[in-house]
C-alpha cells in the first residue's frame, strides 16, 4: 500500500521546516511535539563561499558579475547570446522534464531578478526569448512548471505538459553561481577574534596573512611583521626585514656596518621598516653593569645609504668636558 499524501506532507513538514524526525502521524503528534532532531545536511562541498558577491537584484542583470578576473555570477539571456537550450529527459512522460546540463542556478532568495524565465521554440534558436514564454503558474490549463535551481532541471509536474512544447524545445533564462564552492579552500577570510590550530598547520600557498600580532613558529617568508627573526648576520646593512634579531658575539671581528664603538657584543637588534621607504635599526646591547651605552641607532631612507651609528646615552653615563 502506498503512503498517503497526508503522511508524505507531514514527513516533509517535520523534516524540512522543523528539522525533526517523524515518529507518528500529524493527528497524534504535531511537528512541535516531535523530539528527535533531524536537521538537513549541508555538505561542505556545496557551500557558496563567495555568495557575498552575488548582487541583490529585482531584474536579471545584463552582464556577468566579475571580481578580480573571476566570474562569480554568469548570466544567461539572449542579449549575451547565452540563453540555455535544454535537453529533454526521456525517463518520464514525453516532454515532462528538461535539463539545462548546468548546476547552481542562483535562486530568487538572492533577489527576485534571479527567478528563471522559461521559453519554448524551435531548436537552435539564437533569440528564443522572442518565442512563447511559459509561466510558472501555467496558462490556466493545469500546465505549470517547477525549476530545481541546484540541479538545473525543469519539470512540468501538473496534469499536462504545455501544448506549445510539442515539436519544440525548452529554453531557460537566468543566472548561475560560478564562484568558489566548498570549505577546503577559502577565497577570503575575515576574522575578528583568533585563528587557533591545536594540532596542525595553517597553510597559505599563495597570498598574504595580515595580522597585528603573530604567535608561534613560521615557515616561509614573513615580511612586514614585527617578530623574532633569529640570529643576525655579519653584514648589518642587509638586515632590513622588520623584527628583532639576536646578537650573541664575542667581538665585532668579521662583521661590517655594526656599531664598532660599542664594547658590548650581545643584545638585540630591532629593525623597524615602513614599506622599505624608511628603515631604522636600534641596537640594544646587554650590559651587566648599570653604566654603559643604552642603545645605538641609525636609519636610511629608500635606496639612500645608511646614516652613521649614533649612541643614545642614559642618565647613568658620565660626560667629560662636554664630550661623550
- Domain residue spans in the chain? 5-39, 46-177, 228-312
pLDDT at 207: 67
132-169 burial, b at 16+ Cβ within 10 Å, e below that, comes to: eebeeebeeeebbbebebeebbbbbebeebbebbeebb
pLDDT at 292: 53
| Range name among 114-118, 243-247, 285-289, 313-317 with the lowest pLDDT average | 313-317
Q: How confident is the model at residue 143 (pLDDT cuts 50, 70, 90)?
A: very high
pLDDT at 290: 47
Highest mean pLDDT among 70-84, 218-232, 279-293: 70-84
Alpha-carbon gap, residue 148 to 135, rounded angstroms? 15
Residue, of 172 and 291, whose pLDDT is higher? 172
Q: How confident is the model at residue 219 (pLDDT cuts 50, 70, 90)?
A: low
Q: How confident is the model at residue 236 (pLDDT cuts 50, 70, 90)?
A: very high
In this prediction, residues 223-250 reach a mean pLDDT of 90
pLDDT at 41: 85
pLDDT at 191: 73
Please write down the long-range contacts of 139-148, taking CB distance under 8 Å and 24 or more positions apart. 145/118, 147/105, 147/116, 147/118, 147/172
Averaged confidence pLDDT in the chain: 88
Q: Is 274 left (phi over 0), alpha (psi -120 to 50) or beta?
A: beta
pLDDT at 180: 92
SS3 percent helix, strand, coil of the chain, rounded to 5, is: 10, 25, 60
In 3D space, the residue among 116, 132, 46 whose CA is nearest the CA of residue 76 turns out to be 116
pLDDT at 55: 97
Residue, of 126 and 159, whose pLDDT is higher? 126
Coil vs helix vs strand at 30: coil
In 3D space, the residue among 89, 166, 80 whose CA is nearest the CA of residue 122 turns out to be 166
In this prediction, residues 200-207 reach a mean pLDDT of 70
| Range name among 50-64, 67-81, 145-159, 174-188 with the lowest pLDDT average | 174-188
| Range name among 112-121, 169-178, 286-295 with the lowest pLDDT average | 286-295
Residue 296 bridge partners (DSSP): 283, 311
Does residue 288 surpass a pLDDT of 80?
no
Alpha-carbon gap, residue 178 to 187, rounded angstroms? 13
C-alpha cell at 258: 655594526
Alpha-carbon gap, residue 37 to 11, rounded angstroms? 13
Does residue 317 surpass a pLDDT of 60?
no
pLDDT at 318: 56
pLDDT at 161: 93
pLDDT at 44: 87
Q: How confident is the model at residue 311 (pLDDT cuts 50, 70, 90)?
A: confident
pTM of the model: 0.61
Parallel, antiparallel or unpaired: strands 228-231 and 243-248: parallel
pLDDT at 240: 94
Distances from the Cα of 271 to the Cα of 89, 229, 239, 299, 302, angstroms: 68, 10, 7, 9, 15
Amino acid at each position: 500500500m502506498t503512503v498517503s499524501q497526508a503522511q508524505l506532507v507531514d514527513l516533509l513538514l517535520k523534516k524540512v521546516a522543523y528539522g525533526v524526525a517523524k515518529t507518528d502521524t500529524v493527528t497524534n503528534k504535531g511537528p512541535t511535539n516531535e523530539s528527535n532532531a533531524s536537521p538537513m545536511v549541508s555538505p561542505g562541498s556545496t557551500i557558496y563561499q563567495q555568495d557575498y558577491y552575488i548582487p541583490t537584484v529585482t531584474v536579471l542583470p545584463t552582464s556577468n558579475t566579475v571580481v578580480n578576473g573571476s566570474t562569480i555570477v554568469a548570466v544567461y539571456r539572449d542579449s549575451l547570446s547565452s540563453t540555455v537550450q535544454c535537453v529533454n529527459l526521456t525517463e518520464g512522460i514525453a516532454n515532462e522534464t528538461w535539463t539545462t546540463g548546468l548546476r547552481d542556478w542562483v535562486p530568487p532568495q538572492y533577489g527576485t531578478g534571479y527567478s528563471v524565465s522559461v521559453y519554448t521554440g524551435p531548436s537552435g534558436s539564437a533569440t528564443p526569448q522572442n518565442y512563447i514564454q511559459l509561466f510558472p503558474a501555467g496558462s490556466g490549463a493545469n500546465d505549470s512548471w517547477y525549476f530545481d535551481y541546484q540541479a538545473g532541471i525543469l519539470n512540468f509536474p501538473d496534469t499536462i505538459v504545455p501544448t506549445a512544447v510539442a515539436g519544440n524545445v525548452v529554453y531557460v533564462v537566468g543566472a548561475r553561481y560560478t564562484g568558489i564552492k566548498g570549505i577546503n579552500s577559502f577565497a577570503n577570510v575575515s576574522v575578528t577574534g583568533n585563528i587557533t590550530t591545536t594540532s596542525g598547520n595553517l597553510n597559505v600557498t599563495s597570498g598574504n596573512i595580515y595580522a597585528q600580532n603573530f604567535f608561534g613558529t613560521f615557515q616561509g617568508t614573513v615580511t612586514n611583521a614585527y617578530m623574532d627573526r633569529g640570529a643576525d648576520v655579519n653584514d648589518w646593512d642587509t638586515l632590513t626585514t622588520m623584527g628583532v634579531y639576536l646578537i650573541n658575539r664575542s667581538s665585532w671581528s668579521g662583521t661590517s656596518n655594526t656599531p664598532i664603538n660599542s664594547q658590548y657584543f650581545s643584545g638585540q637588534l630591532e629593525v623597524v621598516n615602513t614599506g622599505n621607504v624608511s628603515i631604522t635599526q636600534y641596537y640594544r646591547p646587554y650590559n651587566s653593569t648599570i653604566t654603559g651605552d643604552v642603545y645605538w641607532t641609525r636609519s636610511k631612507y629608500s635606496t639612500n645609504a645608511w646614516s652613521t651609528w649614533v649612541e643614545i646615552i642614559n642618565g647613568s653615563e658620565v660626560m667629560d668636558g662636554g664630550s661623550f
